[in-house]
Amino acid sequence: MAGAKPAVLVAGGAGYIGSHTAKALRHAGFEPVTLDNLVTGNRCAVRFGPFVEGSIADRPLVEKTVREFGIEAAILFAAHAYVGESTAHPAKYYRNNVGASIDFLDGLMAAGVKTLVFSSSCSIYGAQTDDAPISESAPKNPLSPYAETKLFLESALGWYERAYGLRSVCLRYFNAAGCDPDWEIGECHDPETHLIPLAIAAAMGGAPLRILGDDYPTPDGTAVRDYVHVTDLGDAHVSALGHLLGGRPSDRFNCGTGTGHSVRQVIEAVKGVSGKGVPFEVGPRRAGDAPVLVADATRIREVLQWEPRHSSLETICATAWRWYSERSLRHAR
């Protein structure tokens, strides 16, 4: 069909951000093909295109999938993503996030794919020494094996382009949050470590939310983070893909809103959308946590023409509340 957009291989597309990006790709006219081994992903989240079950480390499978579906570009989400676990089990993280990812890149190139969007992280910046928004040129100081694996892949992609012509955009996420506004897909981690789902669970009668430190040098003493709606993240991947397919150069972008919210502000937002209290207790700070982490999102707005349309804190919490409320009702039936 004239003008049809290409098929895109979404590695890790059964996960939280991957599934929302698959939906964004479908709405933009692409054909998302999900490759996922379902170790942490959910089969029920694959709703917007074909599904291939398997590992990104399986080079023959990657090559076969590329050829079978006519893949022209890829997005790499597949990675272990728990900071604490990475410190306790670094081998698991280097083996998967580095070793398997390199196998995936090699499989793509062997099949002729040289366009990639990579799911990176603001964790590569570490704990910044001031409260200013973080630009892409800020010093890189990863404080965990997880963060180091993300920075390593960014570096590897630079060398792969020089040597092999593999072009890429790396999106450095700040705090992904919220759920699909249409409630077709949502957030489902095990264990759950994200603040907003934990606050919602507390409001629904679960364990009290644990605030990790209330003595930071911030207006209310709790840590401030930049929350970006997962649907907006999906749109950012579509914009990044269009950037590369349009012949523009490889690049690295912060993916955030430029606005920070404290833990206490998140609690108040959950109370506002739910009409319920959020029981909490205060514990000590977590080692390595910065008081404030907020993106300087100037470049992604200017270069990719991306705007976070769903990322007000109220919208983020409202979409998450609706998702978790409906899941609770389904499970109760």
Active site residues: 146
User: Which residues have a Cβ under 8 Å from the Cβ of 119 and sit 6 or more positions away?
Assistant: 12, 17, 18, 75, 76, 77, 79, 171, 173
7-11, strands of its sheet edge to edge? 51-53, 31-36, 7-11, 71-76, 115-121, 167-173, 251-255
15: nearest Cα among 205, 219, 209, 237: 237
Structure tokens at 102: 């390199």
Rounded CA gap, 289 and 49, in Å? 38
C-alpha angle 33-37-41 in degrees, rounded to nearest 5: 85
List, as own/partner pairs, every contact residues 211-214 make where C-beta atoms lie below 8 angstroms and the sequence separation is at least 24, other chains included.
211/263, 211/264, 211/280, 211/281, 211/282, 211/283, 212/283, 212/284, 212/285, 212/286, 212/289, 213/282, 213/283, 213/284, 213/285, 213/286, 213/289, 214/282
State how far Cα 25 lies from the chain centre: 15
Tell me which H or E stretch contains 73.
strand 71-76
Alpha-carbon distance values, 171 to 11, 54, 73, 220, 290 (Å): 15, 24, 16, 30, 21
Pairing of strands 280-283, 167-173: unpaired
Rounded CA gap, 134 and 121, in Å? 12
